[in-house]
Amino acid sequence: MKKQFTSTLRRYGALVPMLFLLFVSACSKKGDPGPKGDNGKDGNANVMVFNFGPQTITSAINLTIDVSRGKMDSSMILVFYNPETELESAWYPMPGVGSGSLYETRFLTYQSGTSPSRYTVAIRLMTLAGAAYATQVKFRKLRIFVVPANTMVNARQAPPADYSDYAAVLRYYGIAAL
C-alpha cells in the first residue's frame, strides 16, 4: 500500500500545486463594482460648539446660545472652561470642582427667547459647602457643546410585577404557562 501511495504521489505530485495556483488566481479576479450604498448618518457633523472668549465671573454669569427647542430637548449639553490660572490646554468640565479645589462649578439651561430660539446657559460658582463663591474667577475661554442624540428612548419603566401572583410574574416576563 505504501508503494502504491508513493507511486501515485510521484505521478500526480506536481499537479496539486498547479491546481492550487489555478484556484487562487481564479478566485482573485475582481468583479464589477456593486451598487452604491445609502448615505449613513453624519458622525459629529451635527454637534454644535459655542466658543466664548475671556469671562470674569463673581458667583454667576449668563451666556446665550441660539439653538432650537427641539435640538435642546434631544441633546446632551457639555460645558468646559479654561481657568486663567491654568495652562491654556487645561480644560475643566462643568459641573465639577474648579482650579485648586477652591470652588465648584454648576450650570443650568433655560429658554430665554423664542424668535429666534435662544437659550441661556447660567453658570454658577459655589463654595465646596454650597454657598455662592464671592471671589472673582477668570476663565480664559469657555466652550458649550450641544450634542444631539442619535436615538431617543422613553426611559419610563412599567410597574414591577406582583411577585406574590404566579400568573402576574409569568405575564410580566413573557413566560408561557406550563
| DSSP characters over the chain | -HHHHHHHHHHHTTHHHHHHHHHHHHHT------PPPPP---SSTT-EEEEE--EEEBSEEEEEEE--HHHHHTEEEEEEEEETTS-TT--EEESEE-GGGS-EEEEEEEEEEETTEEEEEEEEEE-TTSSB--S-EEEEEEEEEEEE-S-------PPPP-TT-HHHHHHHHTPPP-
Instruction: Tell me what pLDDT residue 50 has.
Output: 97
More confident residue, 17 or 80: 80
Burial zone of 83 (CB within 10 Å; 0-12 exposed, 13-18 middle, 19+ buried): buried
Q: What is the pLDDT at residue 150? A: 82
All three cell numbers of 110, joined, read 433655560
Q: What is the mean pLDDT of residues 131-144?
A: 96
Give me the pLDDT at residue 8, please. 53
* pLDDT tens by residue, 22-55: 555 555 556 677 787 777 665 566 899 999 999 9
pLDDT of residue 162: 78
* Distance between CA atoms of residues 98 and 111, nearest Å: 26
Structure-model confidence comparison of residues 63 and 173, the more confident one = 63
pLDDT at 170: 77
Average pLDDT over residues 60-64: 97
Amino acid type, 141: K
What's the angle, vertex CA 130, arms to CA 126 and CA 135, rounded to 5?
Answer: 30
Does the structure show a pLDDT above 80 at 155?
no
Distance separating alpha carbons of residues 125 and 133, to the nearest angstrom: 5
Average pLDDT over residues 150-172: 74
In this prediction, residue 72 carries a pLDDT of 95
The pLDDT, as a whole number, for residue 51 is 97
